[in-house]
Amino acid sequence: MSLLEVKNLCVSFSAKGKEFAVLDNVELSVEQGSIMGIAGVSGAGKTTLLRTLNLLQRPASGKIAFDGVDIMSVSQEELRVLRRRIGVIFQSYNLFRNKTVARNIAFPVIIEGVNKKKALEKAREIAEELELIHRLGSYPSQLSGGEQQRVSIARALITNPRMILLDEPTSALDPFLTSRILRLVKRVNSVHGVTVIIVTHDMSVIKRVCDQIAYLEKGKMVFCGPTHDYFSEYYLSVSHDDHAAEQLEKAKKILAENGGNKLVRLVFWGEAAGEPILWKCSKGLDVSVNILYGEIEEFKHGPFGTLLVATCGKDSAEFLRRLSGNVYKMEVLT
């Protein structure tokens, strides 16, 4: 069941008297309990999309349904209630400089009118879970980037949201803190059942934690679907990744220098990534297989492998026919 449905969403800004579109007919569907990654280069419209999802930015047109409610037609009061169910963690954390960590975390429930003592108790519980308990009396300027990040996550969680929106949560963090935040996001999702939308331009974040990816290009949603489908089908053709494009160029060069009649890209997904498929499919055939590049990565739902191989020999066609039935995706590149 989808928790969030976005249809034909358009957002424009004006500069020097001219209107320009930042989001152009964006469609998005986020399943209840899933983690969705929104990716795209700088300026693609990721933050704008995130801000529009809880109407911090009003769209020019389109529809946003959250938990079956058309949020553009609700009253201000209903919108206020709805926003409590959607926690936002901004790119720049947006902590209150003059408040302690405890008061920063408790703030959303204090303004709702919850008694201060109760609010601070709840803040303490969340701080414990996020390993911030020793920092409750500190001010934001006394915290590291990773700690400020966790305070902003704690503040988003205190209202028990159904969904949280995170804008570039790892962009200022080192690899160790990145892993820690990603583990935290996964735990919030699996233990608390919170649906997560995470904006990032770091593809490794998408691979490690996301079930689905939505890719924005100049305000248009060019892909929205399962992460492994994006990386197996779409990735190379649009060259969103310099590393993958570079490997392909190298493989083509080796092929040109050494001969071989076919360059083939193979994608292995899930359990099949561990099987000796090249050996199995070439048994008894007159075919030689030259591995030009190979990699196995750990995705959220299992191993994801890619191989670039060159083949030659009179049984090449039969070999490729057998292969195509045994791998997740096969693409003959030359």
Ligand X SMILES: Nc1ncnc2c1ncn2[C@@H]1O[C@H](COP(=O)(O)OP(=O)(O)OP(=O)(O)O)[C@@H](O)[C@H]1O
Sites of contact with Mg ion (CB under 5 A): 47
Task: Choose, by CB under 6 A, the member of 6, 9, 47, 150 that binds ligand X.
Answer: 47
Asked if 170 is part of the footprint of ligand X (rule: CB under 6 A), the reply reads no
> 278 and 264 in contact (C-beta within 8 Å)?
no
Tell me which residue of 228, 98, 81 sits closest to 160, measured CA to CA.
81
Single-letter code of the amino acid located at 101: V
Asked if 42 is part of the footprint of ligand X (rule: CB under 6 A), the reply reads yes
Residue whose CB is less far from Mg ion, 88 or 158:
88
> 250 and 293 in contact (C-beta within 8 Å)?
yes
| Options 40-48, 75-83, 129-137, 298-306: segment touching ligand X (CB under 6 A) | 40-48
CA distances from 124 to 119, 129, 187, 192, 275 (A): 9, 9, 18, 17, 49
For the CB of residue 292, give the shortest distance to Mg ion in the complex, in Å. Answer: 37
Alpha-carbon span 237 to 243, nearest angstrom:
13
Residues 8-37 that bind ligand X (CB under 6 A): 13, 22
Asked if 96 is part of the footprint of ligand X (rule: CB under 6 A), the reply reads no
For the CB of residue 150, give the shortest distance to ligand X in the complex, in Å. Answer: 21
42 binds, among Mg ion, ligand X, none (CB under 5 to 8 A by kind): ligand X
Task: Choose, by CB under 6 A, the member of 35, 36, 37, 40 that binds ligand X.
Answer: 40
Please state whether beta strands 86-89 and 163-167 pair in parallel, antiparallel, or not at all (unpaired).
parallel
For the CB of residue 44, give the shortest distance to Mg ion in the complex, in Å. Answer: 9
For the CB of residue 240, give the shortest distance to Mg ion in the complex, in Å. Answer: 17
> 244 and 326 in contact (C-beta within 8 Å)?
no
| Options 24-32, 38-46, 107-115, 119-127: segment touching ligand X (CB under 6 A) | 38-46
**Other residues' Cβ atoms within 10 Å of the Cβ of residue 174:** 11
Alpha-carbon span 34 to 189, nearest angstrom:
7
Alpha-carbon span 25 to 23, nearest angstrom:
7
40 binds, among Mg ion, ligand X, none (CB under 5 to 8 A by kind): ligand X
13 binds, among ligand X, Mg ion, none (CB under 5 to 8 A by kind): ligand X
Number of residues in contact with ligand X, rule: CB under 6 A? 11
Task: Choose, by CB under 6 A, the member of 44, 136, 182, 289 that binds ligand X.
Answer: 44
Asked if 46 is part of the footprint of ligand X (rule: CB under 6 A), the reply reads yes
Q: Which residue has the tokens 């670039």?
A: 308
| Options 41-49, 147-155, 180-188, 204-212: segment touching ligand X (CB under 6 A) | 41-49
Largest CA distance in the chain: 79
> 108 and 159 in contact (C-beta within 8 Å)?
yes
> 164 and 87 in contact (C-beta within 8 Å)?
yes
For the CB of residue 307, give the shortest distance to Mg ion in the complex, in Å. Answer: 35
Report residue 119 as tokens: 């609010």
Please give the residue ranges that form the binding site for ligand X (CB under 6 A). Answer: 13, 22, 40, 42-48, 201
